[in-house]
Amino acid sequence: MTQYAILTDLSKCVGCLACSVACKVVNDVPLGSYWNKVLRVGPNPRTEGGQWPDVYMYFLTIQCQHCKEPECVKVCPTGATHKLEDGTVQVDKVKCIGCQFCVMACPYGVRYLNESERVVEKCTLCEQKIAQGELPQCVSQCGGRARWFGDVEAGIENFEGPGNNPDDRSYDGMSSYRVRLGDATGEGPDFPVKPYEDSEVHYLPDAGNKPSFMYILRGEKWQGGEN
């Protein structure tokens, strides 16, 4: 079964907020609400009681984690919140009665009530784009090329990001070009992604919902619990 997800390389994220802005533009997210937020985590001390410069910081992107066993789907009385065959969790706004139990059941606070439509909404993983082979907007617009999109079942080395097409400099040629995470990972200047250990791949806290999004953080302590 397909399970689409995003992997964010926190060691590469520069906190430019391009993902948040791009998401709002392409999905018409209301003022004051976000489908994709960026937290600045830290500065936290590397060792207990540590002071600057013995501190570290990273940017953490928070959005719907398109969980494998989403609690929001279980609590929705009308089936408005549902899981598609591609593994993404979607909201059928016509069915939503606005009970907001999905908002309560989500461990990550990424759902909200759209005040004008009076229904709950959240990140769709740009279903309108990925269904036709494009990348989610937050991935294609990532300033640090820290975000990668793909099917978890196919392995994260097969996740894809935007790339520089050496053979076709047209808009279509550039926008359709893809770089595999596995091909981009290695030591040296030819590889934009540095190697990582399995222990450096993290998830947000799991309340039994099995979040599918992943975060790579190299050499620093992941804040916020482990699975």
Positions in the binding site for another protein (CB under 8 A): 15, 17, 20, 34, 37-44, 60, 62, 71, 74-80, 94-101, 104-109, 113, 118-119, 204-205, 207-209, 223-225
Least gap, CB of 32 to another protein (angstroms): 8
For another protein, the closer CB: 5 or 193? 5
Question: Which element (helix H / strand E) includes 183?
Answer: helix 181-184
For another protein, the closer CB: 1 or 94? 94
Least gap, CB of 3 to another protein (angstroms): 20
For another protein, the closer CB: 84 or 113? 113
Least gap, CB of 80 to another protein (angstroms): 7
For another protein, the closer CB: 78 or 128? 78
Show Cβ contacts of residue 27 under 8 Å, excluding neighbours closer than 6 positions: 35, 124, 126, 137
Least gap, CB of 223 to another protein (angstroms): 4
Looking only at Cα atoms, what is the longest distance across the chain?
A: 53
Nearest Cα to Cα of residue 194 among 204, 181, 203: 181
**What does the block give as tokens for 4?**
């689409």
